[in-house]
Amino acid sequence: MSDVDPETRERIEADQYCERLGIDLVALEPGHARTELTVTESLLNFHGTLHGGTIYSLADAAFAAASNSRGETAVALETNISYLDAVDVGGTLTATAEETHLGGRTAEYEVVVTDENDDRIATFRGRVYRPG
């Protein structure tokens, strides 16, 4: 993790919701972040598959980290996610957020969620507003 102000990194890493779900921030650079989560039985829905909200939260955590990585407050304007595949208990998911547009007060990000075999599990897109 480099080129990010230590105070900004600390604030992002202190996210209590991520801590509760077991989401770890594993990379952070300006406009880029990567989060990981190990799938446990406590995260399954009534079908016995990983809850979609957990996948969304993993992607959203990477999105939030990437969009706030420059130390400026960024708040979500809109997001969407496409779920592509299921995952097994014990597997590790990785969400990689990349800034695809930065302009004025808004920015756009794409987050790709993959499993430990690098198979795509979900695609998330989000736009933020920077009130500046």
* Distance separating alpha carbons of residues 63 and 82, to the nearest angstrom: 15
> CA-CA distances (angstroms) from residue 96 to 34, 72, 74, 87?
4, 20, 18, 17
User: pLDDT tens, position by position, for the chain (132 residues)?
Assistant: 468 999 999 999 999 999 999 999 999 999 999 999 999 999 999 999 999 999 999 999 999 999 999 999 999 999 999 999 999 899 999 999 999 999 999 999 999 999 999 999 999 999 999 998
The structural domains of the chain, with segments of one domain joined by +, span 6-129
CATH of domain 6-129: 3.10.129.10
pTM above 0.85, yes or no: yes
Single-letter amino acid, residue 30: P
